[in-house]
Amino acid sequence: MRYPDLAVIRTLAASLALAFLCGCAGETGPYPSKEIRIIVQSPPGGLSDQISRIMGSLIEKDFGVPLVAENKPGASGALAFSYVARQQPSGYIIGHTPVELGMVRTLGYTDIGPGDMTLICRVSLIPPVLVVRAEAPWKDFAEFVAAAKAQPGELIMANSGTGSIWHFNTLLLQANTGIQVTHLPYNGSGGTLVSLMGGHVDAVIAGVSEAMTQIESGTLRPLAVFDSKRSSVLPDTPTTYELGYRMGTPAWSAFSGPPGMEPAVRDKLAGAFAKASEDPLFLNLCADRGIEPAYLGPADFEKFAHQQAEYFAEQIPLLLGMRP
């Protein structure tokens, strides 16, 4: 029987030891010293994905390491939130964190809320808009509401997932106007808008930024922005507040990490996101798509996120007819 050469064994052992040490260096050296993964709770191509990828590309310039977006959609973000919360708090896995972080616990999707994550920062707000096809018979918000009242449950409204922020705004629409519609959930806003353009549903509430391409092309007609002030990219579209309905809850984009992150790591990330939030590339995206730049650092974002969770804990049971 022939045994391996002793020199070969020693070389292999040295190589394995070197590989082990190199693998550990990223965790123990100055932060950051290796790739950072951004877990995105929505499918590729959506607004959350776009913001995560743009922010990642801008921060790469400062950090000198790749920031790679990885999509884990499902359960209104609960799958992604749960995944991030289980990771080591090293700062090498963080999550894009939308408004649904304040909703999923009340909805029963997962027992995770703002207090179960390291909250890094918020970067933007996105107001909702009600859109219909350009050839739809309803020329304004009042005509749409009148038609829905005349046909309870017959109009179909798609949403980006049961329990998502746009589903929540559709429930607000029902509660404040007295209409009843049939809800058709999708996994993200992209599918809802495709379904609307294809004539499979009658209306959609989505983010202004998500519907702007179709609005600009004349394919979709905006009926109302669900906000107290008009959108800069839809100056001719009235707000629900102007129309006499004090309703509308915006989406937001933020970032968080697993619980227990070192404050120094959190603050370094927050500072990098703050700088990226002022970059012309991000500001141009916001201006073009109707996104509101709205950076909040760790302390302010933590206060805001907990207030949002309290709001949804109160409102969701009422809108869904659930017991408190």
Position 252 scores a pLDDT of 96
| Domain boundaries for CATH 3.40.190.150 within the chain | 34-126+251-320
Selection from 126, 147, 125, 120 nearest residue 136 by Cα: 147
Task: Give the side-chain half-sphere CA count within 13 A for 306.
Answer: 10
Res 7: pLDDT: 47
Alpha-carbon distances, residue 259 vs 90, 114, 218 (angstroms): 10, 10, 45
pLDDT tens digits for range 256-282: 999 999 999 999 999 999 999 999 999
CATH top-level class of 34-126+251-320: alpha beta
**Cα gap 98→38, rounded to integer Å:** 13
pLDDT over 70 (residue 102) = yes
Mean pLDDT of the region 118-130? 97
The predicted model scores a pTM of 0.85
pLDDT for the residue 8: 40
pLDDT band at 75; cut points 50, 70, 90? confident
Alpha-carbon Rg of the chain, whole angstroms?
23
Task: Over range 143-149, report the average pLDDT.
Answer: 98
pLDDT at 323: 45
Check whether 216 has a pLDDT greater than 70. Answer: yes
Does position 27 have pLDDT exceeding 70, yes or no?
no
| 38 within 8 A of 57, measured Cβ to Cβ | no
Residue 2's CB: how many other CB atoms inside 10 A?
4
pLDDT of 15 over the 60 cut? no
The boundaries of every CATH 3.40.190.10 domain in the chain are 128-225
CATH fold label, 128-225:
D-Maltodextrin-Binding Protein; domain 2 (3.40.190)
Mean pLDDT value across the chain: 90
